[in-house]
């Protein structure tokens, strides 16, 4: 996960031979997270219902991989009740939904899950579209990211590459925020913010963002697939500075090695998992 609190208490064997590592958060953490969720979703009956349905959905996403006993260990809710939630026979109360979502968001170690998915690919090239080819895993990741961003305002989502578009689309639906793709090619008749950078000693790349899609009033979530040297993401952030839009969060799904850390230190980039880089 984005945070490192909690200790590993369970290692579950899940579908496809994967391993799911679960941490045990403190009761204070769960209470604080649940309170934040309830405050954010209490503005209307529609918001409250949406959170209740999200709790049922996340249980359905986890159920093919985990037993009801496993889910009980994570949530503390009796198996018979979890069964009815997961099947959709009933939906949790507003307060119960906040507890379910808080415990799952704070417990599941996304870092371990993503590393495991990358290793299973056994490919020399890390392609997020292949890593997250299971729509259930992608949806689980999007829900947990939405929970992590609870209370933050997002009006636009900046996708740094096409590989991150499926995940960006899921987040876009949750935040009702349009997606703006960072482009590698310009088109006649369109005005852009642009910047060029040295991708390698012999390769200069230029990035473009449509001017008419961004304004200084926007609050943007930057979503990136993989970061290695940090040059591309740094160039994207330079583009955003030209638009004067406010950056709400910068999330990178996979970090490759540690070369990027010093270059992006000032930007408070949140990397979900870091994978060692080997030549």
CATH of the domain at 182: 3.40.50.2020
Residue 16 has pLDDT above 80, yes or no: no
Tell me: the pLDDT tens digits for 86-136? 999 999 999 999 999 999 999 988 888 888 888 887 777 788 888 888 888
Residue range(s) defining the domain that contains residue 193: 123-275
Q: What is the DSSP letter of 182?
A: P
Tally the domains of the chain: 2
Find the mean pLDDT for residues 145-153: 92
Q: Check: CB of residue 116 under 8 Å from CB of residue 141.
A: no
What is the per-residue pLDDT for 8? 53
Residue 13 has pLDDT above 50, yes or no: yes
In this structure, is residue 43 part of a structural domain?
yes
Task: Looking at the structure, tell me whether residues 97 and 209 fall in a common domain.
Answer: no
Task: Looking at the structure, tell me whether residues 86 and 192 fall in a common domain.
Answer: no
Q: What whole-number percentage of the chain has pLDDT above 70?
A: 92
In this structure, is residue 116 part of a structural domain?
no
Return the minimum-mean-pLDDT range out of 14-28, 74-88, 137-151.
14-28
Residue 200 has pLDDT above 80, yes or no: no
Task: Looking at the structure, tell me whether residues 101 and 128 fall in a common domain.
Answer: no
Pick the last residue of a domain from 108, 137, 170.
108
CATH of the domain at 39: 1.10.260
Pick the last residue of a domain from 47, 81, 108.
108
pTM (two decimals): 0.86
Tell me: the pLDDT tens digits for 56-65? 999 998 888 8
Nearest to 155 by CA among 222, 236, 209: 222
3-class secondary-structure state, position 12 = strand
What is the per-residue pLDDT for 108? 86
Task: Looking at the structure, tell me whether residues 129 and 262 fall in a common domain.
Answer: yes
Pick the last residue of a domain from 108, 138, 158.
108
Task: Looking at the structure, tell me whether residues 197 and 78 fall in a common domain.
Answer: no
For residue 95, what are the β-bridge partners?
none
The residue with tokens 């993401």 is 233
Task: Looking at the structure, tell me whether residues 270 and 151 fall in a common domain.
Answer: yes
Higher-confidence residue: 260 or 6? 260
Task: Looking at the structure, tell me whether residues 78 and 174 fall in a common domain.
Answer: no
């Amino acid at each position: 996960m984005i945070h490192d609190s909690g200790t590993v208490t369970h290692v579950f064997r899940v579908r496809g031979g994967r391993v799911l590592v679960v941490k045990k958060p403190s009761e204070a953490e769960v209470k604080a997270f649940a309170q934040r969720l309830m405050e954010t979703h209490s503005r209307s009956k529609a918001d409250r219902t949406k959170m209740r349905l999200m709790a049922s959905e996340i249980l359905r996403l986890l159920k093919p991989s985990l037993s009801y006993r496993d889910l009980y260990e994570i949530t503390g809710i009796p198996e018979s009740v979890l069964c009815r939630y997961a099947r959709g026979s009933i939906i949790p109360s507003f307060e119960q939904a906040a507890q379910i979502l808080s415990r799952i968001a704070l417990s599941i170690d996304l870092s371990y899950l993503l590393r495991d998915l990358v290793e299973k690919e056994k490919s020399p090239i890390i392609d997020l579209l292949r890593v997250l080819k299971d729509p259930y895993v992608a949806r689980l990741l999007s829900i947990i990211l939405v929970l992590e961003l609870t209370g933050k305002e997002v009006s636009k989502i900046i996708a740094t590459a096409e590989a991150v578009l499926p995940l960006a689309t899921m987040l876009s639906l949750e935040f009702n925020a349009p997606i703006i793709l960072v482009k590698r090619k310009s088109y006649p008749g369109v005005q852009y913010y642009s910047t060029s950078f040295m991708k390698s000693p012999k390769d200069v790349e230029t990035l473009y963002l449509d001017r008419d899609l961004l304004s200084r009033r926007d609050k943007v979530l930057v979503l990136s697939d993989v970061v290695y040297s940090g040059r591309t993401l740094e160039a994207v952030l330079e583009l955003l500075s030209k638009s004067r839009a406010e950056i709400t969060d910068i999330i990178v799904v996979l970090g490759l090695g540690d070369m990027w850390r010093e270059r992006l230190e000032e930007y408070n980039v949140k990397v979900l998992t870091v994978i060692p880089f080997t030549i």
